[in-house]
A and B are shown apart, each in its own frame.
Chain A
Amino acid sequence: MLEHIPDTLRMIALFGAIIVAAGALLGLRSEWRKNELEDQVTKIMMVLLTIGCVFVILVALHVWGQS
């Protein structure tokens, strides 16, 4: 398994999640003024995606999780 490189994995997860969260927030911003049904769904999906990134950031910072 990859247990012997936990810090490397943690750092990849942390920086990756920050970049993806920034991307999702940018995507949310670009959708913000659109009002079609699919745009509303996309907004919800972008918010949830950002929440997912926050989960990963909290895990990488040892705030959450048991590894």
Chain B
Amino acid sequence: MNDLEYDEVRRQRLLGFLFFLISDCVIFGDFIFSYLYLRNAAPVWPPVGIERPYLYLAAVNSVVLFGSGATMHFAMEAFRHSNRRHFVGLLLATIVLGSMFLGGQAYEYTHLHDTWAGSTFGASFFTLTGMHGFHVFIGVIFLITVLIQTLRGTYTPHRYFGLTAATLYWHFVDVIWVALFFLFYIY
């Protein structure tokens, strides 16, 4: 495939991937609206006897995830500038931070005084954060895959769509967390 053909294929793949992310946004949007509906229908929120999850642990966990978004961005920049050593280091940092976020979420789940079936708050919280956590888990696998592919020489500084997709996906999970952090811990 020559460069001109590759550019066209790349554009189509990018558009397809962005449509996938938009459809994922719609799914999260559905659950967020159902959460807001339940919240507004309740006389008190969270329901009586239910504690909100611990805010400062979530704040630290959020910083860990947002930090992974920044490292992923700079990893991509390093790859574009053919700086392989920085790229591998930053991508590894992203993978570690993503895994730390999942660990923090697992810790939070095991210490919460609510369950999925315990209340409307618990149902919404576990559904939305669980679905997001699953996306992060898939993202970590995605990043490990592109790291292995890069080390094997699959991508070049001119042909690297897999890396672009991984970066966009990782930014997407970051941005979804901004909304969930606001909804469950602040609002």
Contacts and interface: CB of A to CB of B under 8 A. Distances in A.
A48 B73 CA distance: 14
A1 B14 contact: no
Interface stretch (B55-63, B119-127, B132-140, B147-155): B55-63
Give chain B's interface residue range (CB within 8 Å of chain A).
35 or more
A9 B57 contact: yes
A2 B54 contact: yes
Given A45-B172, A52-B174, A24 B186 contact: no
A2 B167 CA distance: 32
B92 interface: no
A55 B182 contact: yes
B54 A17 contact: no
Interface string B157-181: 0000000100110011011011001
Contacts of A42: 73, 167-168, 171
Contacts of A16: 60, 63-64, 67
Given A13-B56, A37-B14, A45 B186 contact: no
B77 A2 contact: no
A10 B58 CA distance: 10
B66 A24 contact: yes
Contact of A9 (B60, B74, B185): B60
Interface of B: 11, 14-15, 18, 52, 54-57, 59-60, 62-64, 66-67, 69-70, 73-74, 77, 111, 164, 167-168, 171-172, 174-175, 177-178, 181-182, 185-186
Given A48-B174, A52-B62, A60-B59, 13 more contacts: A9-B57, A17-B66, A24-B70, A38-B168, A41-B171, A42-B73, A45-B172, A45-B175, A46-B73, A46-B171, A56-B181, A59-B55, A65-B59
29 contacts: A2-B57, A6-B56, A13-B62, A17-B59, A17-B63, A20-B66, A20-B67, A24-B70, A27-B73, A27-B74, A37-B11, A37-B15, A38-B164, A38-B168, A41-B171, A45-B168, A49-B174, A51-B178, A52-B62, A53-B63, A56-B59, A56-B62, A56-B181, A59-B59, A59-B185, A59-B186, A60-B59, A65-B55, A65-B186
